[in-house]
Amino acid sequence: MSDYCRICLEEDALDNLLIPCNCKGTQKFTHKSCLHRWQETTLNNYLCCPERYDLEQVLTCRLCKTKYNSTSANFSWRLLYTSSPLLALARKHTCVLTFGISSFMCFSFWLFFPILFNVAIFSYVVFWKKGYRFKFIGTNEGIRLRIYKIGLKVNELKSGTILKATNMIRDGMFKNSKILIVKNKEEGAVGFIFNKFIDETENIRCGGPVNQSSVHVLHDNPDVEGCEKITDGIYIGGKLIPRPENTICAIIKGYSAWDSLQLDGEVRSGLWQIDNTECACLW
C-alpha cells in the first residue's frame, strides 16, 4: 500500500506517511518531515510579515481547520514559535518600541548616578592597589586634592640620609634641591631642604613648603643640652641660647613632609638620588 505526500507530491509507503489532520482524499497524507518543514516556513513567513500571514496557520490546517497532530520538535523552532507573538508585536509597533526604549533611557539617567558612584569606588580601589594615594590637604589657596604614588620601602631612607633632586624635578621649590632626611617612619618622612638660602650671611635657609613660620636649628655639637641626634655630626635643637662655643649652626625655616611610603615611591621612580657625600655643603 502506498500513497502520495500532499506536500512533496512523492509516492511513498503508508508506513512512512502521516495523517496530520481531518483532510481526505489527495490531501490526506504527508511525510512527517515535510509537515515540519511546512510549519517552519509558515512561521518564518509570519515573522517576516505578520500583517499578511496568520500565526494560526503554523499549527492548523488551512483547509479543514483542525490542528495538526504533529509539530516540529526542534527546540529553537519551538522557542521561536512561543515568542513569535511578541516578536510580531515589536515589528508592528517599532515606533512605540522606540519611544519605550527612549523613556527607559531617560529613566536610567537616574540610574546613572549610582553607577557613577560604583565606578568611582571601583577605580579608587584599582588605583589604591596600584599604589596611588589620594588626600585632601588644606593649603593657602583652599582645599586641594593631592594624588601621589607610594613605592616599596627604600631601606637607605633613614634620618641623616641626603637626597639630591634629579633633573626629573623640573620646577617648584624642590628643583635642584638637596634634602636632609630628619625622620622616616611608618607615618611618613620629614626632611629639610638645606641648599636654598633665605639669608646667606645669617645662614638662614628655607627647609621646605610646610609651615614656613616654624624655625629649626641644625648644629654639629653633640653636647648641646636637649638636642636630638639626626646622624653622626648632625644634631637638631636643644638649648642654643646663648650659643655654645665651637658650634656651627644652620637655621632652617619650614620643612618638607611626605606621607607614608610617598618619598620611597619618589626615590624609586627616580625623582631623588641618595647621595650621602653631599653632606659637606650642609654647613
Query: For Zn ion, which residue of 19, 55, 59, 61 counts as binding (CB under 5 A)?
Result: 61
Binding residues with Zn ion: total (CB under 5 A): 10
Using CB under 5 A as the binding rule, whether residue 257 contacts Zn ion is answered as no
31 vs 178, beta carbon nearer Zn ion: 31
Using CB under 5 A as the binding rule, whether residue 23 contacts Zn ion is answered as yes
CA distance linking residue 93 with residue 99, whole number of Å: 10
Using CB under 5 A as the binding rule, whether residue 205 contacts Zn ion is answered as no
**CB of 234 closer than 8 Å to CB of 180:** yes
Using CB under 5 A as the binding rule, whether residue 8 contacts Zn ion is answered as yes
**CB of 66 closer than 8 Å to CB of 21:** yes
Smallest separation, CB 15 to Zn ion (Å): 14
Q: Which helix (H) or strand (E) holds 30?
A: strand 30-31
Phi, then psi, of 63 in degrees rounded to 5: -90, -55
Using CB under 5 A as the binding rule, whether residue 5 contacts Zn ion is answered as yes
Using CB under 5 A as the binding rule, whether residue 219 contacts Zn ion is answered as no
Bridge partners of 191, per DSSP, are: 181, 256
Query: For Zn ion, which residue of 14, 48, 49, 63 counts as binding (CB under 5 A)?
Result: 63
27 vs 45, beta carbon nearer Zn ion: 27
**CB of 35 closer than 8 Å to CB of 6:** no
Smallest separation, CB 78 to Zn ion (Å): 22
Stretch that binds Zn ion, among 29-37, 94-102, 104-112, 126-134 (CB under 5 A): 29-37
Write the CB contacts of 203 (distance below 8 Å, at least 6 apart in sequence). 197, 249, 250, 251
Which three three-digit cell numbers place residue 268? 624609586
Using CB under 5 A as the binding rule, whether residue 31 contacts Zn ion is answered as yes
Pairing of strands 204-206, 249-259: parallel
Smallest separation, CB 81 to Zn ion (Å): 19
List interacting residues with Zn ion (CB under 5 A). 5, 7-8, 21, 23, 31, 34, 61, 63-64
